[in-house]
């Protein structure tokens, strides 16, 4: 009797497996829906398909923001920024610059002439600027801004995987204005890509303050609310 039971075990196992395979479609059936208004939203969801189209035939779902609009809270509620064109332009830059390669030099020069740093070179901004620099810039430009980051020069002194060495900040920054720096950090320059999507406007200005410090620029040489129209500062060296 025991031997017969042992012989039946594999047979029953195979039968169970085949039965399970034959009912896969049945198991996929969710059955009754008790709250259809929660399962099937009556409202249009952000990424749900929509039958409504624009006059151009573009779907209404997951659309880009309307051109020229600024998100609520994007511009600080600070009168020194909102009433000073040189400061305000850094927050409105995406509405003034096309990032078109054919217009790069024209826009780069315009940024240098029009945009100023709205942040003071305070200890808080320098500390945060250093943190941002360590995460985003140090790998190429090096800890001290000498252009010897680990992508360029390995700890043992040998060449890293990236052979285009960025110039030292102390060599290039004294001739470049804050606005040029902002444009380069935002949209890129040379072999350096832009960080406009990774860093907020405030973070870009904070890291610019720290870059100026690495270049030996004094706090008085960077733009502050009291000297916005007359002060020039440095820009980050590019690859």
pLDDT single digits (tens) 167-205: 888 887 777 898 999 999 998 888 888 898 899 999 999
Please state the pTM of the whole predicted model. 0.64
Confidence category of residue 124, pLDDT binned at 50, 70, 90: very high
SS3 of residue 59 by DSSP: strand
User: Is the pLDDT assigned to residue 231 strictly greater than 70?
Assistant: no
Stretch 221-232: mean pLDDT: 35
Share of the chain above pLDDT 90, in %: 23
Provide the mean pLDDT of the chain: 77
Q: How confident is the model at residue 210 (pLDDT cuts 50, 70, 90)?
A: very high
Q: Based on the number of CB atoms within 10 Å of its own CB, is 2 exposed (0-12), middle (13-18) or buried (19 or more)?
A: exposed
**Which pair of structure tokens corresponds to residue 32?**
């009754």
Structure tokens at 35: 């709250």
Min mean pLDDT across 65-79, 95-109, 199-213, 225-239 is at: 225-239
Q: Any idea which of 56-60, 105-109, 224-228 has the lowest mean pLDDT?
A: 224-228
**Looking at the predicted structure, is the pLDDT value of residue 130 above 80?**
yes
**Higher confidence at residue 39 or residue 103?**
103
Which domains, ranges and CATH numbers included, belong to the chain?
1-63 (no CATH), 79-227 (1.10.760.10)
Q: Which residue has the higher pLDDT, 44 or 5?
A: 44
Q: What is the DSSP string of 116-166?
A: ---S---HHHHHHHHHHHHHHTHHHH-TTSSS--TTTB-TTSSB-S---PP
């Amino acid at each position: 009797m025991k031997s017969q039971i042992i012989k039946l075990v594999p047979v029953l196992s195979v039968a169970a497996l085949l039965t399970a395979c034959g009912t896969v479609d049945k198991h996929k059936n969710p059955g009754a829906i008790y709250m259809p208004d929660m399962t099937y939203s009556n409202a249009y969801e952000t990424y749900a398909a929509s039958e409504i189209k624009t006059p151009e035939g573009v779907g209404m779902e997951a659309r880009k923001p309307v051109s020229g609009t600024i998100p609520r809270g994007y511009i600080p509620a600070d009168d020194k920024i909102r009433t000073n064109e040189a400061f305000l332009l850094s927050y409105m830059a995406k509405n003034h610059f096309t990032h078109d390669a054919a217009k790069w030099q024209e826009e780069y020069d315009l940024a240098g002439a029009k945009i100023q740093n709205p942040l003071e070179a305070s200890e808080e901004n320098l500390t945060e600027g250093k943190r941002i620099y360590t995460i985003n810039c140090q790998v190429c430009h090096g800890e001290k801004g000498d252009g010897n980051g680990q992508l360029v020069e390995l700890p043992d002194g040998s060449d890293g995987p990236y052979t285009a060495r960025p110039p030292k900040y102390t060599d290039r920054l004294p001739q470049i204005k804050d606005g040029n720096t902002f444009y380069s950090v935002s949209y890129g320059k040379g072999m350096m890509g832009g960080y406009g999507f990774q860093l907020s406007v405030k973070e870009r200005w904070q890291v610019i303050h720290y870059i100026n410090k690495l270049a030996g620029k004094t706090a008085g040489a960077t733009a502050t609310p009291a000297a916005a129209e007359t002060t020039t500062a440095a820009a980050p060296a590019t690859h």
